[in-house]
Amino acid sequence: MTENEKAEGLEPSSRPAPASRMTGSLARRMIAIAALWISLLLIGGGFALDRVLTSAITRNFDSSLEYVLIAMIRSSEIGPDGEVRLIEPLGDQRFLEPYSGLYWQISGGGQEPYRSRSLWERTLKAPRSHIDDQIHTYDSDQFVDEELRILERNVILPGSEVSWRYQIAQSRETLDAQIGAVRKTLIPSLALLGIGLIILAALQTFYGLWPLRHIRRAIAAMRGGQNRRVDAPLPREVQPMVDELNALLAHNEKQAEEARLHAGNLAHALKTPLTVLVNSATGSDSDLANIVRREAATMQRQVDHHLARARAVGRRGAAQSRAVVWDSVQSVSRAVFALYPDTRLDAAGDRTVVVQVERQDLDELVGNLLENAAKYGGGSVFVTIARDGAMAEIIVEDDGPGISPADRTRIFDRGVRLDSGKPGTGLGLAIVRDVAEIYGGSIALEASEDLGGLLVRLRLPAG
């Protein structure tokens, strides 16, 4: 275990894996994909371009031989003895130089082949298995030291019934040299183009991901206490993520501030009862038992109140917070009215209304309202559930004496009770107001026109 692991309290088995093992590099992934795609395209394109250029060079080479072949046929005639001969010599001097690489030959009629001097003692093979009425082109390796490109055609000359085979052959050395020169230029050019495109893709990747480095530096500055938000101008593709990050930071700051505020309020609320207890115990007060019970009840009310707020704050950011209001009303009413069996409950409205509140918090809100209505009402409680735009309304009415307009604001203060003859802590409506506001809702007190008592209108965000 390293010193850092000891300081952080991490066991070796629970040490987080390095980020590179889990995610790798986004830049390397993008560059690798670009390099692979560029390589495939250049290889495929280079192969196709090589085929096109090779075919063009070969066609040009064959065209020059075909021109000579046609010229040779036009210059041919039948001699007195029935042999074929050329009335005009072919213009290329290489036909007269032995082994020059350019040859011609005429064969047929069972006679000795009539051939160019460049062939010297050699003879071109004249296959008898087929007759070529059109020009036939092929490669031949009949000469050990020289690969040939041969064009041949069978022709019947005027005054002769013999099918003469005309052949023009040229060494492939020139053709292969031309194809090799093209490939020597093509392959390095495509390789250089591929390297350039990959470098360009790498530069584009690093430039495109550069805003993420700004975000990293901004977060480091926030951790160092220099900034509180990421406020640098960023591209529109990255800005939504930064906005969500800033919103998350604001949410966490708000929760931390609320936690500090609750802790301070709770400490302040418990300080006075504890002081009274210490003074009473030190002064040997004769009524110590009653003082302890009274102050303990006060502390219990404060603890319950702040625990309810803390639970609501902790659950507020949960995106999956959903609760069906009708189910909560039915569930809570059975528990509340088991304590007040003489009270009658009626409920109506939309049974499908859903609120963005945790079910436990919704049960506590509804439970406090129904318990107050049953406790201070005259025996009838009516609940209405409705949807009003983006908000859901839970209206609780009773037939009790109601609350005067002057007391409807004061009743939300912690510990305020208008009827001290009934048991309670005086925190019910205060808890309902605080929890509802945490979820983005509200509570209002009005007079009930139907039952004549109090009407409580609780509004919560609808799901």
* DSSP track, 38-81: HHHHHHHHHHHHHHHHHHHHHHHHHHHHHHHHHHHHHTEEE-TT
218 vs 142, which has greater pLDDT? 142
DSSP 295-361: HHHHHHHHHHHHHHHHHHHHHTT-TT--EEHHHHHHHHHHHHHHH-TT-EEEEEE-TT-EESS-HHH
Instruction: Summarize the confidence of residues 447-458 as an average pLDDT.
Output: 89
* CA–CA dist 257, 251 (Å, integer): 10
Q: What pLDDT score was predicted for residue 384?
A: 93
Q: Taking 80 as the threshold, does the pLDDT of residue 282 lie above it?
A: no
Q: CB under 8 Å to 139, separation ≥6 — which residues?
A: 147, 148, 149, 150, 172
Question: Model pTM?
Answer: 0.51
Q: Taking 90 as the threshold, does the pLDDT of residue 179 lie above it?
A: yes
Angle at 216 between CA 211 and CA 222, to 5 degrees: 125
pLDDT digits (tens, 9 = 90+) for 13-50: 444 444 445 457 788 888 999 999 999 999 999 999 99
Residue 17 DSSP one-character state: P
Q: Which long-range contacts (CB under 8 A, 24 or more apart) does 457-460 make?
A: 457/393, 457/394, 457/395, 458/365, 458/369, 458/393, 458/394, 458/395, 458/396, 458/432, 459/388, 459/391, 459/392, 459/393, 459/394, 460/355, 460/356, 460/357, 460/362, 460/365, 460/391, 460/392, 460/394, 460/436
Contact between 151 and 135 (Cβ < 8 Å)? yes
Q: Hey, is 144 helix, strand or coil? A: coil
* CA–CA dist 136, 165 (Å, integer): 11
Band of residue 191 on the pLDDT scale cut at 50, 70, 90: very high
Q: With pLDDT > 70 as the criterion, what percentage of the chain qualifies?
A: 79
Overall residue count recorded for the chain in this entry = 463
Q: With pLDDT > 90 as the criterion, what percentage of the chain qualifies?
A: 31
Contact between 424 and 440 (Cβ < 8 Å)? no
* CA–CA dist 156, 73 (Å, integer): 10
Q: Taking 50 as the threshold, does the pLDDT of residue 424 lie above it?
A: no
Mean pLDDT is lowest, of 148-152, 155-159, 181-185, 348-352, for 155-159
Backbone φ/ψ region at 160: left (φ over 0), alpha (ψ -120 to 50), beta: beta
* CA–CA dist 331, 11 (Å, integer): 46
* CA–CA dist 385, 349 (Å, integer): 5
Tell me the C-alpha to C-alpha distance, in Å, between residue 438 and each of 50, 269, 310, 321, 328.
72, 21, 10, 13, 19
pLDDT digits (tens, 9 = 90+) for 76-103: 888 887 888 888 888 888 989 999 999 9
452 closest CA partner among 377, 343, 394, 384: 377
* CA–CA dist 186, 182 (Å, integer): 6
Q: What pLDDT score was predicted for residue 19?
A: 45
Q: Could you tell me the sign of the dihedral formed by the alpha carbons of 28, 31, 34, 39, in that order?
A: negative
- State which fold the 318-461 domain adopts: Heat Shock Protein 90 (3.30.565)
Band of residue 104 on the pLDDT scale cut at 50, 70, 90: very high
Mean pLDDT is lowest, of 14-23, 39-48, 108-117, 156-165, for 14-23
Strands 323-324 and 146-156: unpaired
Q: Taking 90 as the threshold, does the pLDDT of residue 311 lie above it?
A: no
Helix (H) or strand (E) holding 168: strand 163-171
Q: Hey, is 436 helix, strand or coil? A: helix
Mean pLDDT is lowest, of 141-155, 305-319, 439-453, for 305-319
pLDDT digits (tens, 9 = 90+) for 374-412: 888 888 899 999 998 899 999 999 988 888 888 877 777
Q: What pLDDT score was predicted for residue 403?
A: 85
The mean pLDDT of the chain is: 81
Contact between 414 and 432 (Cβ < 8 Å)? no
Q: What pLDDT score was predicted for residue 342?
A: 85
Q: Taking 70 as the threshold, does the pLDDT of residue 416 lie above it?
A: no
Contact between 305 and 343 (Cβ < 8 Å)? no
**By CB neighbour count within 10 A (0-12 exposed, 13-18 middle, 19+ buried), where does 192 fall?**
exposed
